[in-house]
Structure 1
């Protein structure tokens, strides 16, 4: 029904109205990448290196836009999720491998985001033992008892919390000439090994595998026909630009307030508290509220992504529009991951920063594998026909896979050497 309505709309209308009917999956997938791990990574970049590496964000915006556009195109043209296509085109073994790694990475990320929500509310003296289960329950009720349309609208409303980071950057009162110079002047002069690892972490937290699985599943479930392909691609690209713009605001706020002091921070919540004496109480509140909203959004997206991917890969019914009785496996996976995330965070002695860092490493290691699947699928003329990726995009895709794989090997070697030392 949803797809028929959208197709009728595109036959009757063009322009902004048609675009607004499609907007959602790309924007939600993009901003979901600015979760607790993402914000922590960007805040660390700003606090430890100032504005020096702000230029990395336009590059990650371009990479994310290329990937998100490819995934949106796959979802619209095939009407299938990414894991479904991996199973069909590469076989059950590759699908099983991809799902196991995705499950592990998303479990770690769900724990990280429940921890992020709890850390944000701890700024306002709300105990973790209250925040963790209550946040998980709110997300569970929203997804299980809501329709796709209502859930998407709430997700879109949650993206408004990221406006807090724009305000935080403005309150920090940066030197805008220095900001513009850093954005447009790439340089690795004098970069240390630790800073290089941090830049790799920025790439890994910006272009995460779960975003691609969610985006394609959401596009397929929304039922966007080929008539809406242009609008779906625009939604994916704009989502990529918006999420990196927010990332830049986080870096600017923490760079101006903390970078000159050389104050390293261990979490985004710590950054919010550290901003107070330098940028005011309101800045701390904005930063903390943004972290809570971002964590809440990601708490929903990651279990949903895993439920979509596993259900599609192995042929189970899936979809937020399905009743609990119609898709018990789908909702069972979603519930289990969300519950595990909340329970782990409530365990005494947990180091939430360790959980966040581990989740970012897992997502980063998985990224070249997922990207290889995406490039291979979008290069298939038998699958996409006239909508197959052009040669320049295939070349860019395979080059990105190679570069990310080399960077991952470097990270693994550095960690092995650190352990040996």
Structure 2
């Protein structure tokens, strides 16, 4: 009897990756790409250093969420429901749903606009409908394992953005300088874009998704006891996911900061504008790669957005939930996914500006993130919930820094709005 061939080390490593990789990659959705493109177009390379700042902060908070999911074997919403007052839970739901729906709508519009650019014969609205229908089919038709595998492969689309800067000339000494020596400008425009970057990278919906997916992944792998190896694999997965997310952010700012800023284009409102502006300045291949990446990241991010919202609802009201369940087994869960995508799609037909949708999303995320970070840190240090797996000193230090920075960003956001 022939032996089954052993998987290579690369395949074994890839199999270990899951919720952390998908969460990090989904953070670079079309709306995030629009934010990074505007940062590069408006300020050149002056915001490159933010990628170094956000990486450890994202890794620390998402690591806490992942550990909560592993130890409790349940989503963040269930933990809030069991151990904290109802106003905290319902407050998070109240603020999260409009922001997530607006984010979904902005992403669908961005993908539709980019698809229309590639194939102009089909109207943007038709592409938006096709994209929404495709996403609903994938989410409802396939099991969690297949969706997770699809999402992992879609993460490769992010590598397209890492290639682009090497296709145009770069002053790498200047790139290094702007990366490691922060540029700070105390004016409304610069501080606004810093707040926008923070709101885009450290988003509350990712906290809920990470926790729930770790819990589900634990069930699918048949994990009964959380040991050091499982926690180590989780850290590798989360850290790699957050590193990929920040690398894409870095190279996105680098591309637009080099090409668009130097080309005299300083205002980017939508992701398709960024793609169009790149074509005459950097060539058709760069433009196609950029546009293709938008479609890939949208297909990756929207299921995460819609899924996180539906899990929050299901865990709050006790519905049967899970991407591994058939539609008939979890009708309210899948129904909420359908509604969120259709409402997001409707924004295009009601002519809601994508840039306004993103602005409102950033406001709500910016206001709720500090509260959620404080709650997550409290859960992470609660021995009653976490037992012997409470936060390390480093996690608490990075979490505290994140809380201070996100609170300052929220105060700055209110100041700019007023």
CA displacement at 1:91 relative to structure 2: 2.8
The equivalent residue for 2:296 is 293
The equivalent residue for 1:326 is 329
The equivalent residue for 2:104 is 110
CA displacement at 1:69 relative to structure 2: 1.0
Secondary structure of 2:387's partner? helix
The equivalent residue for 2:204 is 209
Partners of 2:255 and 2:397 in 1: how far apart?
Answer: 36
The equivalent residue for 1:366 is 368
Partners of 1:82 and 1:23 in 2: how far apart?
Answer: 21
> 2:116, 2:124 within 8 Å by CA — same for their partners in 1?
yes
The equivalent residue for 1:132 is 128
The equivalent residue for 1:401 is 403
CA displacement at 1:22 relative to structure 2: 3.2
Partners of 1:182 and 1:259 in 2: how far apart?
Answer: 15
The one of 237, 244, 247 aligned to 1:245: 247
Q: Which runs of 5+ in 2 are unaligned?
A: 1-6
Partners of 1:390 and 1:222 in 2: how far apart?
Answer: 23
Partners of 1:288 and 1:377 in 2: how far apart?
Answer: 40
> 2:366, 2:409 within 8 Å by CA — same for their partners in 1?
no
Higher alpha-carbon deviation: 86-95 or 210-219: 86-95
The equivalent residue for 1:23 is 17
1:300-348 Cα distance to aligned partner (Å, 9 max, x none): 111111001111122211100111121111111111001111122233x
CA displacement at 1:382 relative to structure 2: 1.7
The one of 316, 335, 343 aligned to 2:319: 316
Please state if 1:51 is matched with 2:50: no
The equivalent residue for 2:140 is 144
The equivalent residue for 2:4 is none
> 2:366, 2:413 within 8 Å by CA — same for their partners in 1?
no
Secondary structure of 2:329's partner? coil
Cα-Cα RMSD: 1.8
The equivalent residue for 2:3 is none
The equivalent residue for 2:274 is 271
CA displacement at 1:400 relative to structure 2: 2.3
1:57-79 Cα distance to aligned partner (Å, 9 max, x none): 11101110111111111111111
Partners of 2:217 and 2:58 in 1: how far apart?
Answer: 22
Misfit runs of 4+, over 3 Å? 15-22
> 1:108, 1:356 within 8 Å by CA — same for their partners in 2?
yes
TM-score (norm: length of structure 2): 0.92
Partners of 2:67 and 2:416 in 1: how far apart?
Answer: 37
Please state if 1:33 is matched with 2:27: yes
> 1:109, 1:360 within 8 Å by CA — same for their partners in 2?
no
The one of 408, 414, 417 aligned to 1:415: 417
1:33-79 Cα distance to aligned partner (Å, 9 max, x none): 11122101100111111111211111101110111111111111111
Q: Which runs of 5+ in 1 are unaligned?
A: 1-12, 417-421
> 1:108, 1:359 within 8 Å by CA — same for their partners in 2?
yes
Partners of 1:35 and 1:17 in 2: how far apart?
Answer: 26
The equivalent residue for 2:355 is 353
Secondary structure of 1:317's partner? coil
> 1:108, 1:355 within 8 Å by CA — same for their partners in 2?
yes
> 1:166, 1:246 within 8 Å by CA — same for their partners in 2?
yes
Q: Give matches, 1:92-241, under 5 Å.
A: 92-124=86-118, 125=120, 126-188=122-184, 190-223=185-218, 225=223, 226-227=226-227, 228-241=230-243
CA displacement at 1:17 relative to structure 2: 6.5
CA displacement at 1:195 relative to structure 2: 0.3
The equivalent residue for 2:68 is 74
Partners of 1:212 and 1:119 in 2: how far apart?
Answer: 29
> 1:368, 1:405 within 8 Å by CA — same for their partners in 2?
yes
The equivalent residue for 2:56 is 62
CA displacement at 1:16 relative to structure 2: 6.6
> 1:37, 1:112 within 8 Å by CA — same for their partners in 2?
yes
CA displacement at 1:19 relative to structure 2: 4.6
1:133-154 Cα distance to aligned partner (Å, 9 max, x none): 1111111111111111100011
Partners of 1:293 and 1:97 in 2: how far apart?
Answer: 32
> 2:23, 2:241 within 8 Å by CA — same for their partners in 1?
yes
CA displacement at 1:285 relative to structure 2: 0.7
> 1:112, 1:359 within 8 Å by CA — same for their partners in 2?
no
Partners of 2:321 and 2:130 in 1: how far apart?
Answer: 25
